[in-house]
């Protein structure tokens, strides 16, 4: 039995579980014209959800298993809450928080005690995860359940080992997509935001990392799931380096605590992108002169660092990869996208320094840390490169270690509002960081 996790049973079916309080509710409410789903929150027109046998189902969340008006959602809660667990809360992380990180970590602990939701706006490379350790330790100590959820599988994979290393006794479980561990008891869950649809008032502390990322941002179903997954007395912490206007507005309207950390862990400023007008970038793989010009830029950046090249779509990425392999035979070049079955291996090889040049779609925009890289964005005016995505991509550079002359280049044929806003935001955050450093 997993506390707070919903199971589907037929209406009226007897359910017993010793030591648990059982909560049951109708899975699908059938109204006059609409169906309202208790699991995903979607409203569907009745005729759209009608089955031949005469009853109804929710088409919006059918991929999680069909839910009909003959079903109920059952959730179990422990009758006797877990006693305080000092030993599982013992944090094994041996690093040091900076003074500013410490202040924010403490603010998170206070918000948790006061039952206040938090938006933590911390720049890329500021060490967000480590700032969470004290509040996670508090929740574990109190015997409470915690989830760290993120829209991105890659981010889950990167977070999980770090949390396991910090809290080796916390029975941490990793769940995402199809390649997940099966359900078992846990105190700390690391999962994709989709997995939250399986929970009803299950967590006392719910941390949403990279909340502005696709597919979470603007997804009603996932927002509903996030709200339902946390206990009524629980606290949600939203972490992001690039909050959307909508999230900031929500945080203000609902009186969350908004915490800001504009300074990176190593106290150096964010790298300001260099913009270059590049006419005809779309034909770059086919035009020898353009290609040689691009090679020149790559070779220049490769003198100090390895190189990540972000492309606006997958087909373009592959043709550019092929063209570059032909003109740069001595360089190790690879391409990786979300559709790539070997993506994890390729990303790992990049971490290990195997590739000189890795071409990628926006899949690597966030959540991954490579040492010593420079970044080029080709076709930065393309719609996939929103302001947030551009700020995130620029944030891949100069993440850790000594300064390595990493550079960020935006190549485009047309300067968009997103490009201008991204530059403005990076400048603004750097100014804030300087001001904080002076105050200190």
Q: Where does this chain bind Zn ion (CB under 5 A)?
A: 37, 39-40, 58, 60-61
Query: Minimum CB separation from Zn ion for residue 393, in Å?
Result: 34
Q: Which residue is nearest to Zn ion (CB)?
A: 37
Q: Side by side, which strands form the sheet with 71-78?
A: 6-10, 71-78, 20-26
**Residue nearer to Zn ion on the CB measure, 112 or 199:** 199
Q: How far apart are CA 404 and CA 302, in angstroms?
A: 11
Q: Which is nearer to Zn ion, 20 or 55 (CB)?
A: 55
Nearest Cα to 55, choosing from 19, 33, 28?
28
**Closest approach of Cβ 86 to Zn ion, in Å?**
40
Measured from the CB of residue 227, what is the shortest distance to Zn ion in angstroms?
14
Helix (H) or strand (E) holding 223: helix 220-229
Q: Which is nearer to Zn ion, 37 or 270 (CB)?
A: 37
Nearer to Zn ion, 61 or 261 (CB): 61
Tokens of 149: 């959820």
Question: How far apart, in whole angstroms, are the C-alpha atoms of residue 124 and residue 158?
Answer: 15
Nearest to 210 by CA among 376, 371, 434, 362: 362
Sequence-distant (6+) residues with CB within 8 A of 112 are 135, 138, 139, 205, 235
Shortest Å distance, C-beta 152 to Zn ion: 23
Least distance (Å) between residue 58 CB and Zn ion:
3
| Residue with Cβ nearer Zn ion (20 or 64) | 64
User: Which C-beta is closer to Zn ion: that of 39 or that of 128?
Assistant: 39
Which of 40/429 has CB closer to Zn ion?
40
Tell the burial category of 169 from Cβ atoms under 10 Å away from its Cβ (0-12, 13-18, 19+).
Answer: middle
Nearest approach in angstroms of CB 143 to Zn ion is: 32
Q: Cβ 181 to Zn ion, closest distance in Å? A: 25
Nearer to Zn ion, 66 or 282 (CB): 66
| Least gap, CB of 235 to Zn ion (angstroms) | 26
Q: Which is nearer to Zn ion, 6 or 430 (CB)?
A: 6
The whole-angstrom separation of Cα 245 and Cα 17 is 45
Phi, psi of 101, deg, nearest 5? -60, -40
CB of 302 to Zn ion, least distance (A): 50
R_g of the chain, CA atoms, integer Å: 24
In terms of Cβ atoms closer than 10 Å to its own Cβ (0-12, 13-18, 19+), residue 32 is: exposed
In whole angstroms, give the CA distance from residue 129 to residue 109.
Answer: 14
Least distance in angstroms from the C-beta of 40 to Zn ion: 3
Q: Pairing state of beta strands 408-412 and 71-78? A: unpaired
- State in angstroms the smallest separation of the CB of 195 from Zn ion: 15
Q: What's the token pair of residue 227?
A: 């709200």
Sequence-separated (6 or more) residues with CB below 8 Å from residue 342: none
- Secondary structure of 87-105 in the HEC alphabet? CCCCCCCCCCCCHHHHHHH
**DSSP state letters, 257-288:** EEEEE-S-TT-PPPPPPEEEE-TTGGGTTT-H
Choice between 124 and 226, CB closer to Zn ion:
226
Closer of 61 and 139 to Zn ion (Cβ): 61
């Amino acid at each position: 039995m997993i506390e707070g996790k919903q199971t589907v049973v037929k209406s009226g079916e007897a359910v017993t579980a010793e030591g648990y309080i059982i909560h049951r509710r109708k899975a699908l409410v059938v109204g006059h014209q609409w169906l309202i789903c208790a699991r995903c929150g979607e409203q569907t027109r009745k005729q759209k959800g009608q089955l031949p046998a005469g009853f109804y189902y929710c088409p919006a969340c059918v991929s999680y298993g069909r839910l009909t008006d003959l079903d109920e959602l059952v959730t179990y809660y422990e009758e006797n809450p877990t006693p305080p667990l000092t030993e599982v809360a013992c944090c094994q992380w041996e690093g040091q928080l900076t003074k500013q990180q410490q202040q924010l970590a403490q603010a998170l602990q206070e918000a948790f005690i006061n039952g206040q939701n938090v938006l933590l706006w911390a720049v890329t490379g500021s060490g967000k995860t480590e700032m969470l350790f004290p509040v996670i330790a508090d929740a574990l100590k109190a015997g409470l359940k915690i989830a760290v959820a993120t829209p991105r599988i890659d981010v889950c994979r990167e977070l999980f080992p770090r949390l396991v290393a910090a809290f080796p006794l916390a029975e941490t479980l990793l769940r995402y997509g199809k390649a997940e561990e099966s359900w078992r008891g846990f105190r700390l869950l690391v999962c994709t935001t989709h997995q939250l649809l399986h929970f009803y008032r299950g967590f006392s502390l719910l941390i949403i990392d990279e909340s502005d990322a696709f597919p979470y941002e603007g997804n009603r179903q996932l927002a509903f799931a996030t709200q339902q997954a946390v206990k009524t007395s629980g606290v949600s912490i939203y972490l992001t380096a690039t909050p959307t206007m909508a999230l900031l507005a929500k945080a203000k309207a609902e009186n969350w605590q908004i915490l800001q950390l504009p300074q990176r862990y190593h106290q150096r400023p964010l790298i300001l992108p260099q913009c270059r007008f590049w006419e005809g970038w779309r034909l770059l793989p086919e035009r020898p002169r353009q290609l040689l010009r691009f090679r020149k830029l790559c070779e220049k950046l490769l003198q100090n660092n390895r190189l990540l090249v972000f492309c606006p779509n997958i087909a373009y990425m592959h043709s550019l990869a092929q063209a570059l392999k032909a003109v740069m035979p001595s360089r190790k070049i690879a391409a990786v996208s979300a559709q790539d079955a070997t993506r994890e291996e390729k990303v790992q090889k990049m971490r290990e320094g195997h590739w000189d040049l890795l071409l990628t779609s926006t899949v690597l925009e966030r959540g991954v840390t490579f040492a010593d890289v420079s970044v080029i964005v080709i076709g930065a005016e393309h719609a996939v490169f929103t302001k947030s995505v551009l700020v995130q991509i620029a944030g891949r550079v100069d993440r850790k270690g000594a300064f390595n002359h990493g550079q960020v280049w935006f190549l485009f044929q047309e300067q968009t509002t997103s490009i201008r806003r991204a530059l403005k935001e990076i400048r603004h955050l750097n100014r804030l960081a300087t001001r904080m450093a002076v105050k200190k």
